[in-house]
Amino acid sequence: MHGVAGNLAGGTHHAYRDRGEAYCLFNDLAVAIALLRTEGAVRRPFVLDLDVHQGNGTAAIFAGDPDVFTYSLHARHNYPLRKDTSTLDVELEDGAGDEQVLAAIDATVPAALDRHAPDLVLYQSGVDALHTDRLGRLRMTHEGLAERERRVFAWLESRRVPVVITMGGGYGRPIATSVEASAQVWREARASLARRQAAALPGR
């Protein structure tokens, strides 16, 4: 158990308990949490959703459930038009770039993690905040997104919280720009895994 797992798909955060929505047939984040809770494997899960669209289905499914923290950072004017209420919603204006997004996560993610003290984080790592994205409305660069990943993984490492990574949106034109941004998530995840493994070695 090294604390980093992931799925090269998923992050289907728009699906509700009773219906699919917006490319999302069922909410894999919610299903995973439900299964893990049934097994007694997790008590205080935390969904960290940095996709540029609100995790509306996840927010609705866990509304009123104090043991599940739903965090969503998204563009205020983006889909879905009618938003649900997450435990914490962080909204960005159209055109926000690296500086604004990184400042927003700095100001909210570590504090939210400390407030909830999760025993598992599910990271929805959508890369549709990229400036080439057709649906994103934000202007992040590849370097800015790589920095996002480094900060997220560092915050989780320092708190010794295991993480499950899912992908999320990415609709770049050309699509290769989104592929590169998603690949960065996994490069940084691999680096994080290596650091966690090194730290767990006896004698270090």
Complex with Zn ion: residue 80 or 97, whichever CB lies closer: 80
Please state the closest distance from residue 139 (CB atom) to Zn ion, in A. Answer: 15
Say if residue 44 is exposed, middle or buried (CB neighbours under 10 Å; 0-12, 13-18, 19+).
middle
Stretch that binds Zn ion, among 30-38, 85-93, 102-110, 167-175 (CB under 5 A): 167-175
Phi/psi for 122 (5° steps) reads: -105, 115
What percent helix, strand, coil does the chain show, rounded to 5? 40, 20, 45
Site string for Zn ion, 105-134 (x = CB under 5 A): ---------------------x-x------
**How far is Cα 202 from Cα 191, in angstroms, rounded to an integer?**
19
Note whether 169 binds Zn ion by CB under 5 A: yes
Taking Cα atoms as reference points, which of 126, 69, 75 lies closest to residue 100? 75
Please state the closest distance from residue 33 (CB atom) to Zn ion, in A. Answer: 20
Please state the closest distance from residue 189 (CB atom) to Zn ion, in A. Answer: 19
Complex with Zn ion: residue 53 or 148, whichever CB lies closer: 53
Complex with Zn ion: residue 28 or 51, whichever CB lies closer: 51
Q: How far apart are the first and last CA of the chain?
A: 18
Note whether 172 binds Zn ion by CB under 5 A: no
Pair of tokens at residue 111: 């504090």
Residues between 19 and 58 that touch Zn ion (CB under 5 A):
51, 53
**How far is Cα 104 from Cα 184, in angstroms, rounded to an integer?**
20
Contact 75, 50 (CB under 8 A): no
Please state the closest distance from residue 142 (CB atom) to Zn ion, in A. Answer: 17
Stretch that binds Zn ion, among 28-36, 54-62, 162-170, 186-194 (CB under 5 A): 162-170
**Residues with catalytic roles:** 14
Site of interaction with Zn ion (CB under 5 A):
51, 53, 126, 128, 169
